[in-house]
Amino acid sequence: MQLTHVEFYQMSDATESTDTLIIRCPSCRQRFSVDGSLRSRMVECGACDSRFRINEEVILRSKKFYPGERQAPELTRFQKVPFSVAAPEGLQTIRYTDFDHHDQLEPASPQRIIGAIIGVGVMVVITLMFIFASGSGGSMSAMPLENKLILGGFISAIGIFLLINANPRARMKAGGVGILMAAGMLTVPFFVKGPEATLAVHSKLPTYADPKDPIFSAENADSPLAALRNRFSTNPLEDAQKRLKSSGSDKNAYGIFLTDLLQRNIYTVRDFLIRETLAGSSSHPYPRDNGDYLMVLTDISLSFTEVVEIASRLGTTKEIHPEIGIIVISVDNDQFLDSAADKINNQKDPEFYTLNQRELGSVDLARVKRAVERLATAEPSIYREDISDLLLKLMEKPGIRFHDELSKALLVWLEDPGSAGEACLKVLQGQIAADEPVSENLVILLLKGNNSAAIPSIHALWLADPSIWERHYAMCGSAIEPNVLGYLNSEKAPLRRSAIKLLEQVGTPSSLPSLGQLTESPDTEIRVLAERAIKAINRRR
């Protein structure tokens, strides 16, 4: 049988023709286009080399049909009417224009919504602050109207922008709402104002109230004290004085009226006055017109004269009114300025000692501490007596918390460490009573001054932690021997070993019997330490 090798190509269109036949290999299912003369003949597939006869089983036939003859869903996708068909006469077609503002079609993002909530919230909060914080003693009571309007305008601009940004579909409406809210907020300061106080020019005020002053008019002639109180707005001071009087307290309340004080220095001044006068925790500065402050100091044991002396360190004393407990001070703001860093930190600079000595008297406690730290590492070459006195005064003040640095500086500058004994002992006893960390330099300063009154306090420290305070306790000498002997048989092993070591350093022959009993102890370490202590005492005989 004659075979014909079929050279083929894959067909993309199964159209029927008289000259060619479309066949499919029964093995590999490949389609071929062959000449019609091969009908009923045996052929070989050019893809898989299988042999088959071209008959009706392998010949493919396709039937032509027109759209609509078959119920096939995919046929509905074909265009039935060409696009080129002209519109009927008189029919207006729709024209579409380009649209670039897609944000008007999309929903607002969460970020924009949150921004709008923040903008509205801030405007509401500032409005409430204008209403409630502008009263007497409020945080905005001393703020000028111009500053309130500037603050309100800035907040309004932010709020309006956030509202418009969060509403791209209705920007005009959002902007209108924002403008209405801004107008309401900016209107509040015109109606809600802080307390008014009529003050004269302080630089021209006399030391005491002058009856010829216009404030003492005919209507106020019968109550000059009331006129003074109204002049300085002393309501908080009066309340404090009434409270102390009703409670039967022997303490006083005074007011320091501060003028020319920069706002950034108010808290430094407050801390200084409370610290120096030992005032109560309820002491507080109250803002007044023209940037002034009334600092009310309560629960004070000092006399009015002593308070005047302390307050005068802030500047110039302009007025004194003991009848109402008011002291008027014009604050010198220059004293709050830091000294030149290149001079105050350079020990070789000629002004180093002068500047740091001045810093020790600063009203800012942080600057005082830095000056103490600098002087603790400096050579006491000049101003030794003056700087020593200032350091001792700092040690005696109750508001100081940097006793370790202060003691270190005193160890350098004091010629006689014993002169600091009383002040240092008081501080040490206070730290032990308050269960605060004890300054090691403070103990060293006491021991260098041979202050025997400090032995009980150091003994208490040794009992609490022998490992730290043993070497300091040994500096007290043989005076501690009676106290130490009682702990040779202590149940606490560290305390027992430390007692033996102390007797090795400061013990006398009277300790030998007690130490001799320890030489028979079953604890090897105790026996060795006791024998070593006995030898040391015998060598000192």
State the span(s) of the chain assigned CATH 1.25.10.10: 451-541
Q: Where is average pLDDT lowest: 15-29, 301-315, 429-443, 517-531?
A: 15-29
* Token pair recorded at residue 91: 């029919």
For residue 71, what pLDDT band results from cuts at 50, 70 and 90? low
Sheet holding 51-53, edge to edge: 4-5, 42-44, 51-53
Which neighbouring-strand residues pair with 303? none
Q: Answer whether 282's CB lies under 8 Å from 240's CB.
A: yes
Residues making up the chain, counted from first to last = 541
In this predicted structure, the answer to whether residue 12 has a pLDDT above a threshold of 90 is: no
Please determine, looking at this structure, whether the domain spanning 451-541 carries the CATH number 3.40.50.150: no
Average pLDDT, the chain: 82
For residue 330, what pLDDT band results from cuts at 50, 70 and 90? very high
- First vs last Cα of the chain: how many Å apart? 141
Average pLDDT over residues 344-365: 91
> Between residues 120 and 75, which one has the greater pLDDT?
120
In this predicted structure, the answer to whether residue 101 has a pLDDT above a threshold of 90 is: no
In this predicted structure, the answer to whether residue 270 has a pLDDT above a threshold of 80 is: yes
In this predicted structure, the answer to whether residue 3 has a pLDDT above a threshold of 60 is: no
Nearest-angstrom CA–CA distance, 9 and 75: 28
For residue 72, what pLDDT band results from cuts at 50, 70 and 90? low
Identify which of 446, 445, 455, 509 has the alpha carbon closest to the alpha carbon of residue 477: 455
Provide the pLDDT for residue 313.
Answer: 92
In this predicted structure, the answer to whether residue 29 has a pLDDT above a threshold of 90 is: no
In this predicted structure, the answer to whether residue 457 has a pLDDT above a threshold of 50 is: yes
Provide the pLDDT for residue 368.
Answer: 92
Q: Answer whether 382's CB lies under 8 Å from 353's CB.
A: yes
> Between residues 138 and 471, which one has the greater pLDDT?
471
Provide the pLDDT for residue 190.
Answer: 85
Nearest-angstrom CA–CA distance, 201 and 214: 13
Provide the pLDDT for residue 259.
Answer: 94
Half-sphere exposure of 138 (CA within 13 A, CB side): 16
In this predicted structure, the answer to whether residue 340 has a pLDDT above a threshold of 50 is: yes
Average pLDDT over residues 536-540: 89
Other CB atoms within 10 A of residue 520 CB: 9
* Token pair recorded at residue 393: 């005064």
In this predicted structure, the answer to whether residue 512 has a pLDDT above a threshold of 80 is: yes
At residue 20, φ and ψ (nearest 5 deg) are: -125, 155
Average pLDDT over residues 225-232: 89
In this predicted structure, the answer to whether residue 212 has a pLDDT above a threshold of 90 is: no
Half-sphere exposure of 97 (CA within 13 A, CB side): 3
Burial 239-251, CB ≥16 within 10 A → b, else e: ebbeebeeeeeee
Identify which of 437, 380, 258, 256 has the alpha carbon closest to the alpha carbon of residue 330: 258
Q: Answer whether 533's CB lies under 8 Å from 507's CB.
A: yes
DSSP classification of residue 477: G
Which neighbouring-strand residues pair with 255? 296, 326
In this predicted structure, the answer to whether residue 293 has a pLDDT above a threshold of 60 is: yes
In this predicted structure, the answer to whether residue 409 has a pLDDT above a threshold of 80 is: yes
| DSSP-based three-state secondary structure for 324 | coil
DSSP classification of residue 59: B
In this predicted structure, the answer to whether residue 218 has a pLDDT above a threshold of 80 is: no
For residue 15, what pLDDT band results from cuts at 50, 70 and 90? very low
Provide the pLDDT for residue 74.
Answer: 57
Provide the pLDDT for residue 73.
Answer: 59
Provide the pLDDT for residue 50.
Answer: 87
Average pLDDT over residues 201-209: 38
Provide the pLDDT for residue 401.
Answer: 87
Provide the pLDDT for residue 36.
Answer: 82
In this predicted structure, the answer to whether residue 219 has a pLDDT above a threshold of 50 is: no
Average pLDDT over residues 209-226: 51
Place of tokens 């090798």: 5
Other CB atoms within 10 A of residue 97 CB: 4
DSSP classification of residue 378: S
Place of tokens 């802080």: 194
Helix (H) or strand (E) holding 534: helix 524-539
Identify which of 130, 136, 133 has the alpha carbon closest to the alpha carbon of residue 152: 130
Residue 257, judged by CB atoms within 10 A of its CB (0-12, 13-18, 19+), counts as buried
Q: Answer whether 134's CB lies under 8 Å from 192's CB.
A: yes
For residue 283, what pLDDT band results from cuts at 50, 70 and 90? very high
In this predicted structure, the answer to whether residue 7 has a pLDDT above a threshold of 60 is: no
Nearest-angstrom CA–CA distance, 42 and 5: 9
Q: Answer whether 215's CB lies under 8 Å from 227's CB.
A: yes
For residue 69, what pLDDT band results from cuts at 50, 70 and 90? low
For residue 301, what pLDDT band results from cuts at 50, 70 and 90? very high
In this predicted structure, the answer to whether residue 78 has a pLDDT above a threshold of 60 is: no
Percent of the chain with pLDDT over 70: 81
What are the angstrom distances between the C-alpha of 123 and each of 120, 153, 179, 491? 5, 10, 11, 70
In terms of average pLDDT, the best of 69-83, 101-115, 186-200, 226-240 is: 226-240
Helix (H) or strand (E) holding 327: strand 326-331
Provide the pLDDT for residue 165.
Answer: 85
DSSP letter string, 103-142: GGTSPPPHHHHHHHHHHHHHHHHHHHHHHHTTSTT-TTTT
β-strands 42-44, 51-53: how paired? antiparallel
Provide the pLDDT for residue 87.
Answer: 59
Is the sign of the CA dihedral 470, 476, 481, 487 positive or negative? negative
Q: Where is average pLDDT lowest: 38-47, 177-186, 211-220?
A: 211-220
Average pLDDT over residues 89-106: 63
Q: Answer whether 31's CB lies under 8 Å from 62's CB.
A: no
Average pLDDT over residues 459-470: 91
